[in-house]
Structure 1
Amino acid sequence: MTTELPAGVPAELPTEPPAAVPDPATVRAHVARILADFLDGKARTADERRMPGEVPRTLGEFVLAGGKRLRPVLCVAGWQAAGGAGDPSAVLKAAASLELFHAFALIHDDIMDGSDTRRGHPSVHRALAARHAPGRTGAAAAHLGASAAILIGDFALAWSDELLHGAGLTTTQLARVLPLLDTMRTEVLYGQYLDLTSTGKPTDDVEQALTTIRYKTAKYTVERPLHIGAALAGAGPEVFAALSDFALPLGEAFQLRDDLLGVFGRPRATGKPRLDDLRGGKHTVLIALALRRARRTERVLLHTLLGNPELNEGGASRIRDLLTTTGARDTVERMIQVRYEKALRALDRAPFPRTTVDVLRATARAATVRTA
């Protein structure tokens, strides 16, 4: 029995590795194929052993339902930046393993944030709660959904390791990549911890918010995927340094854009509600700037509304007005532009092939000027 691909995923995904150095669209298509095949194999094994095939199928539905595949694209770009050439099959599988790890992070993040949707679909814990609701009270179904989603996230974490070790990498490549992977995992979990512990008590501490961004997003989303790809090609220190010069400002810009979209974006485009961050009282740069610049009565109002789980669109509109009138929104837009330009300047002096520079320029543009 094969895993049915979710709506929106091309039925005819590529079956053969690309003959040439893959462009981002090709990377995304092949990563989807690798993930579909891997999770289909897990579902067949579960059926044969009378284990719950719901686990790999639910994970497959989530992983294949959308996403930018930014980390796999950057992993392959890092390989190309360091002069990677030849059959990219093993590199693509290693890149796909990053997407499975990302699934783990997103599933757990949605539980912590209490998010109802992700990528325009019910979040995994909400979908599982609804699926297992018959015969259970609402509270019992919600608890089961969250608990089962935690386990499915754990499966994604374990299977990301399995996919990497089964990618066909050489012993030397694994020795180069594993320390970077350990570092990436540690950094993003520390970033998530900082995000979690600051949620519900936003302050005007912009630097603290930027520190969270650096670990939760800039390093995890951009720098480490590029480094992992470069390590697969045997990169030297100058390549790693050049990649970091590009990655860190871009990663910060990416998250700053995310913070704006979380408050001002259109849910139909982002696939997520725009009340979650405000109801949760997320400590973002956007909020910190507003609190720093607001008058006393405005700060009182912000502290009253932010973190209120019952916040409605009327209250959210008042917050948005203050984020605009204090200049916080415009400042974040300028911060995005400054970091975007810094990333581009880093590419101007980077020792990368021209085609890789073009890919990274396009990626930088897509990451900072977006509506989802």
Structure 2
Amino acid sequence: MATTTADLTPATGRSDWLTALGGELAGHVDEFVAARCAEQFGGRGEGALAVTALPEFVRGGKFLRPMFAYVGWCCGAPEDAAAVRAVAGLELLHCFALAQDDVMDASELRRGKPALHTQFARWHRERGWRGSSDRFGQSAAILSGDLFLVWSEQMLRESGLPAATLARGWPHYDAMRSELATGQLADLVNDARIRPSWESVLDVLRRKSGNYTVRRPLELGAALAGCDSRVSRALGEYGGLVGEAFQFRDDVLGVFGDPAVTGKPTGQDLRDRKASSVVALAITMADATLRRELRRLLDRDAVDDETVAALRDAIMASGAPDQLEKLIDSQVRRALDAIDGANLPARMTETLAALAARSTERVQ
């Protein structure tokens, strides 16, 4: 029989507990998506690719958002299988964001594999159908994202948690979804600007990624469990700090990460001209000569391999990566201080420390 979170004790270690939890979450999502695909696409020609592409797309994630939500639950209630099923749906909310983000960024890869819109475009092209294959792929990926969004709420609603329990969570779930969309729009605006300021990038980073990845899932889980305001405030402060550190790490990896780990070509964020924290901070910290060089490189019509290499060198010379490492360490320390005096269950304090490390680890 597979190990479940209920089989583990604090002595087993928080890492083992999180690994088991991740397996449970992945199992619930995989089962749910496979069932929905069979139900809604089975025997229909337009669903021939969807029944394999959509289940495959949801696999391979880190399930950070459901993990944080379940830890929020465990800060105020006993472990519960229905609660695990409920928070598992947050991974589908994340898949919704990824599918549409890849279309907006024209990213060909996701986790080292063809993005959804790339798969659908290839499917169209191989059949010799009319119209633009790329346009077809983008449209199909957007519709797939819509399905993930619907299924996310369906998983929560059909989890088995009582209606009164779910009622405590709906406002938080709605805020999380709204904040994700408005943050994405703000990020789109920043990417379109010539050079957004560090303050502007930081504001979007907090709203789009910091809150959505850590803070809101924790608050949702805590609300479902009926945690008091003191616990919710502590989790919210921790979540904001760790979420910000998480995005700093993601931005560093977007410029300097190993493609074998990130699943994307080296320096992909530079090729996409993303308004990331590492670029904005580099421009802020650079001296006048280096700032002119950064702007010259960023203003090139095409960001080829040579330009990526030159930009990486200039960003390193600015000191921005080292400064972001210091900010990451500082945010995590402050986050752990925020929960230290909140009288959380000891095992959840340990788990939050483990999750903070997992969310911000250096993987290059």
Q: Normalising by the residue count of structure 2, what TM-score does the alignment of the two structures yield?
A: 0.91
- Residue aligning to 2:285: 293
Deviations 1:170-210 (CA, angstroms, capped at 9, x unpaired): 11111111100000011111111111111143536211111
Give the helix-richer structure, 1 or 2.
2
Indicate the SS of the match to 2:65. Answer: helix
Distance in 2 separating the partners of 1:169 and 1:323: 49
The alpha-carbon deviation at position 132 of structure 1 amounts to 2.1
RMSD between superposed Cα atoms in Å? 2.3
Deviations 1:120-163 (CA, angstroms, capped at 9, x unpaired): 11111112212221254898111111111001011100111111
2:178 to 171, 178, 186: 186
- Residue aligning to 1:255: 247
1:59 to 54, 64, 75: 54
Cα distance change, pair 56–215 in 1 and its aligned pair in 2 (3 A): farther
Q: What count of residue pairs does the alignment treat as equivalent?
A: 357
Paired letter, 2:49: E
Cα distance change, pair 288–61 in 1 and its aligned pair in 2 (3 A): same
Distance in 1 separating the partners of 2:297 and 2:118: 26
Out of 330-339 and 18-27, give the one that drifted further: 18-27
Distance in 1 separating the partners of 2:262 and 2:43: 39
Distance in 2 separating the partners of 1:303 and 1:128: 37
Unaligned runs of 5+ in 1: 1-11
Distance in 2 separating the partners of 1:130 and 1:283: 30
Paired letter, 1:85: P
Matched, 1:27 2:21: yes
Distance in 2 separating the partners of 1:123 and 1:218: 24
Paired letter, 1:113: D
1:211 to 190, 199, 203: 203
Q: How does 1:303-314 map to 2 (within 5 A)?
A: 303-306=295-298, 310-314=302-306
**Contact 2:75–2:344 (Cα < 8 Å) also in 1:** yes
**Contact 2:290–2:318 (Cα < 8 Å) also in 1:** no
- Residue aligning to 1:140: 132
Distance in 1 separating the partners of 2:112 and 2:43: 33
Matched, 1:323 2:318: no
Matched, 1:174 2:169: no
Unaligned runs of 5+ in 2: 10-15
The alpha-carbon deviation at position 241 of structure 1 amounts to 0.2
- Residue aligning to 1:90: 82
**Contact 2:173–2:220 (Cα < 8 Å) also in 1:** yes
Deviations 1:5-53 (CA, angstroms, capped at 9, x unpaired): xxxxxxx9x5988466892112111111111211221232235563625
The alpha-carbon deviation at position 247 of structure 1 amounts to 0.9
2:272 to 280, 285, 290: 280
Indicate the SS of the match to 2:69. Answer: helix
**Contact 1:282–1:307 (Cα < 8 Å) also in 2:** no
Distance in 2 separating the partners of 1:285 and 1:225: 23
Distance in 2 separating the partners of 1:341 and 1:332: 14
Matched, 1:112 2:112: no
Cα distance change, pair 320–45 in 1 and its aligned pair in 2 (3 A): same
Paired letter, 2:28: I
- Residue aligning to 1:42: 36
1:79 to 70, 73, 85: 73
- Residue aligning to 2:215: 223
The alpha-carbon deviation at position 368 of structure 1 amounts to 1.3
Indicate the SS of the match to 2:132. Answer: helix
Deviations 1:80-136 (CA, angstroms, capped at 9, x unpaired): 112x115x1211111111001100001101111111111111111112212221254
Distance in 2 separating the partners of 1:136 and 1:109: 27
Out of 50-59 and 325-334, give the one that drifted further: 50-59
- Residue aligning to 2:13: none
Distance in 2 separating the partners of 1:248 and 1:132: 42
Distance in 2 separating the partners of 1:153 and 1:308: 33
**Contact 2:190–2:196 (Cα < 8 Å) also in 1:** no
Distance in 1 separating the partners of 2:241 and 2:210: 7
Cα distance change, pair 204–113 in 1 and its aligned pair in 2 (3 A): closer
- Residue aligning to 1:238: 230
Q: Normalising by the residue count of structure 1, what TM-score does the alignment of the two structures yield?
A: 0.89
Indicate the SS of the match to 1:199. Answer: helix
Paired letter, 2:50: V
**Contact 2:41–2:51 (Cα < 8 Å) also in 1:** no
**Contact 1:202–1:284 (Cα < 8 Å) also in 2:** no
- Residue aligning to 1:342: 334
Paired letter, 2:180: V
Distance in 1 separating the partners of 2:301 and 2:345: 50
Distance in 2 separating the partners of 1:138 and 1:267: 35
Out of 259-268 and 139-148, give the one that drifted further: 139-148
